[in-house]
Amino acid sequence: MTAIEVKFNAALGATYVIEFSTDNQTWDVIEDDIVGEEGAIERLYSKQEYPTGFFRVERKDE
């Protein structure tokens, strides 16, 4: 099965959210309250569940 990798650098103690959109206008939360540990965070999401669209990572504590 094919997957999409979402990878980002996270600041120590910062919190992040991963979101998904099919139109770049409306965003749905996939994962919330991800706490950074001063390094890369990686997630895999199935192409079966998210066949087309866009992912973004937002820092929540700024």
- Give the pLDDT band (50/70/90) at residue 29: very high
Q: Which residues pair with 19 in a beta bridge?
A: 29, 56
Instruction: State what percent of residues in the chain have pLDDT above 90.
Output: 95
pTM here is 0.90
Distance CA 59, CA 11 (A): 9
Please choose, from the candidates 34, 35, 33, 32, the residue with its C-alpha nearest in 3D space to the C-alpha of residue 13.
35
Q: Are the C-beta atoms of residues 27 and 60 closer than 8 Å to each other?
A: no
- Give the pLDDT band (50/70/90) at residue 18: very high
- Give the pLDDT band (50/70/90) at residue 61: confident
Q: Which long-range contacts (CB under 8 A, 24 or more apart) does 29-32 make?
A: 30/55
* Residue corresponding to tokens 């192409």: 47
Looking at residues 39-58, what average pLDDT do you find? 95
- pLDDT at position 1 over 80: no
